[in-house]
Structures are given as C-alpha cells and as structure tokens.
Amino acid sequence: MTTNDVRVSVLGLGAMGSALAGALLEAGYSTTVWNRSPGRAEDLLARGARAAASAGDAVRAGGVVVVCLLDHASVHQVLDPLADELTGRTLVNVTTTSPAESRELADWAARAGIAYLDGGVMAVPSMIGRPGASILYSGSADAFEQCEPLLDRWGTSTYFGADAGLASLYDLALLSGMYVMFAGFLHGAAMVAPAGVTAREFAGLAAPWLTAMTSAFEGFATVVDGGDYTVPGQQSLLFSDLGGLLTASADQGIGTEAVAMVQRLVRRQIDAGHGEEGFARIYESIKQPG
C-alpha cells in the first residue's frame, strides 16, 4: 500500500487523533477527518486534510478508517450506526481499551465483515512521527500487513498476533510500570520537599537514577523466567525490607501508601519463609493476590 492508493479517514481529533492525522498528511496520505465537536480540524484542514460533515461521511471517504476516541463506549457510540458502511473496510482502533473490550470490538467487527486492527499507542501526541514513538497492534494480520507502511509513519509498529486483546494487554502492562514508577518519583519528591527541595530539583536527580536502575530489569527477568529465586548474587528480600524507608517517610510527615504497597509485597514473601531469596520474588506476591 502506498500513499497514492490509500485513502485514510481519522475519526476523533483530540490531542492524539490530531497528531496521527497530522503525521499522515505529512507523509502525503489523502486524509479525511471528523470530530464530534466542531472547531478541532482547522489546523489539519490548512495542512491539506478534507473535512467530513459526519462520521458516516468520514467512513465512506476512507478505505482505512482510524478511530481515536476517548474510550470503548465512545467507539461503539460512533461506529454502531455505521457497521454497514464499514463492511469491507479496514478499521484501525487506537483508542485505549481493555483487552476484553478490544476482543469485543473485534467480534463486533467480524460479524459486520470489517477487517479489525487494535492499537495501543505508547507515545504522547508530540512523539507521533518521531523517533521513540511506538504503537502496538493485534487483530487481523492481513490488515496489519496491508496498513504497515501507513502505520509506520506514526512510530515503530509491532504486531502481536490475531488475538485483538494482545496489544491492549501489552499497552496496559507497560502503563502499569509507568504509573507505579511515577508514584515512586512523586513520593520521593514529597519526601524531600520539607527539606526545601523543589520537585524540579529532585527530578534532576531522579531521572538519571531511575534510568540507571532499569538495567536491573534483565536480571529480574532471568530469575523470574528461570523460576529460581535462590540464584546467588541477588539482593535478598530481607535486605530489601522497606521498614526504614516507611519510617523516614512518616518522619517527613507524608503519606506512605506508595512505599507501603511495595513493602506489603516484600513482607508476604518474607513471612512465607523466603527472606533470603531475591527481591524478584515479589513477582509471586503479585501473581497470587493475598
């Protein structure tokens, strides 16, 4: 598929949909855009996009229909009345949905004869079309293959398989890591604040520190995949007890929830007699909810 023989429609011109449509225009794709509320397409129209008066007009204008709306419910709200129009077209849904919601949409699309590709955007809008942007896909392999040159204009495209829920699963798993890390950073910022340290100053210390610590992932992964938490050379759970960190946080007069969550995972394994084993063993606390 080249820029010359594909017509793309983008439904949803929020921050992300606008960035996706902009990258397509930049790459020379014939792009039609639609948004529920008026006034969000002006910049894209100035860059060569065509405006659709309705979602139905947008669908009819595109061989490939990209949907980037708020959530699962809004996707159904917009697309349900247009199932017949979508038949025979390729639908790329990059709205954030849960794996179950993605599978439900894939079933809905299959019943209507729509080729369905689900996407999870691992980027913020300003990253789209630039190095570092990554979008995860699952669903129709044919649709992925057909659309890959187009998808690659947004960022690195990775396809995980025919189960439409997989892209969302990876997406949400990666976001879990991000949010817990963000909470950890903000806990640290709150901890040093009473000492007169600004969050910005703390960020300058935290970013290189946390970046360096990501090198530990590979070692944890080897231990988890090997299933042997007694492999020598690991930091033990007893060594990783966060009691002191909790006390120091409380002494600063701040909440301890973020750190207490990790401490609970550690304590469950220590209490079960695994204190001498590696920190990666908290994976078992997570896998088997207490």
Q: Report the nearest approach of ligand NAP to the CB of residue 62 (Å).
A: 17
Which residues lie near ligand NAP (CB under 6 A)?
Answer: 12-17, 35-37, 40, 68-71, 74, 77-78, 95-96, 121, 124-125
| Nearer of residues 165 and 278 to ligand NAP, judged by Cβ | 165
Pairing assessment for the beta strands 50-51 and 30-34 based on DSSP bridges = parallel
Nearer to ligand NAP, 23 or 270 (CB): 23
Of 162, 186, 168, 175, nearest to 109 by C-alpha is 162
Least CB distance to ligand NAP at residue 129 (A): 14
When CB distances to ligand NAP are compared, the closest residue is: 14
Please say which residue, 120 or 188, places its beta carbon nearer to ligand NAP. Answer: 120
> Shortest gap between Cβ of 213 and ligand NAP (angstroms)?
24
Between 175 and 207, name the residue whose CB sits nearer to ligand NAP.
175
Residue with Cβ nearer ligand NAP (96 or 256): 96
Report in angstroms how near the CB of residue 151 gets to ligand NAP at its nearest. 15
* Cβ 146 to ligand NAP shortest distance, Å: 22
